[in-house]
Amino acid sequence: MIFDCFKKKRSNPSVIIPRPIPIETPRQAQERYDGVNTGNARNPDWRYLASTISLDDDSAKRGTINWYYKQYLKVSGELIRAAEVAAAPHWFLAGIDMREMSFNHKGHFANGDEIIGTGRLTYRVPKGLGPADSWEESVLQAMVYEEGHNARFDKLVGPNMNFADALEAWEIYNGLGFRSKGEYSEYVMGFTNHHDETGRYVADGRYSSSSKVTRPGAAAFILYMLEKGKVSSEELNGKRNSFIKIF
């Protein structure tokens, strides 16, 4: 047994009485050290997933991601400006932009409905947002809407968020339906080692277990941005919980 010794005040001050220190199990020690357990698709451990994620080594998938990357380059300046308005990192917004609109900024940031400058409101989920005179205004509307409807999203999203925060926030933004299916969200994890590219929602509320995933998840796109030098590991580690180094 390991002992911690201390002096107890008695008539003889030189007497040293041993006091045992509680011994933790190896699992407790590991969890205390890094706070990570693997979790599962129904209850994800986002820090674990962020620290073990990688792009699939598949030339066809990388080719698809590269197509989206080329679209991103055309609008990256708008994303940076929107990030300032929305108080969220540009790379976090890029993940949503890629999934919702393929970087086509004629659509509302919330869902891609092409209502910018028309005076109309969004007609798909989430319905009723707008009108928006600019794409940047639609970004702010979408963020305010999501933060107002989900306290967890509101807590996660901010200028100091890290990649693990983003994984969870992307899932919340798209919806938690994949959890009931026992698999990670393809919206987040598609084209990474955490997804097998089968099973997706083919329409709002319509899930197909056999449908193939044909688009990269938000996380895969950001990993590609990291490879291309458009986001740094320092940015992805964030300032919040800075003791958790992911990259």
pLDDT tier for residue 14 given thresholds of 50, 70 and 90: low
Share of the chain above pLDDT 70, in %: 81
CB atoms < 10 A from the CB of 176, how many?
10
Residue % of the chain over a pLDDT of 90 = 68
The pTM (predicted TM-score) of the whole model is: 0.80
Question: Tokens standing for 141?
Answer: 């509307």
The residue ranges of DSSP E strands in the chain, in sequence order, are 3-7, 16-20, 39-40, 43-44, 198-203, 206-212
Residues in Cβ contact with 109 at an 8 Å cutoff, skipping those fewer than 6 apart? 82, 93, 96, 97, 100, 101, 135, 138, 139, 141, 142
Q: How far apart are CA 203 and CA 111, in angstroms?
A: 12
Q: How confident is the model at residue 205 (pLDDT cuts 50, 70, 90)?
A: confident
What is the rounded CA–CA span in Å between residue 220 and residue 187? Answer: 10
Residue 241 binned pLDDT confidence (cut-offs 50, 70, 90):
very low
- Flag whether pLDDT at 115 surpasses 60: yes
pLDDT (0 to 100) of residue 22: 57
- pLDDT at residue 34 greater than cutoff 60: no
Mean pLDDT on 133-147: 96
3-state secondary structure of 19: strand
Kindly tell me the burial class for residue 207, based on how many C-beta atoms sit within 10 Å of its own C-beta (0-12, 13-18, 19 or more).
middle
Task: State the pLDDT confidence band at 204, using cuts at 50, 70 and 90.
Answer: confident
What is the pLDDT of the chain when averaged over all its residues? 85
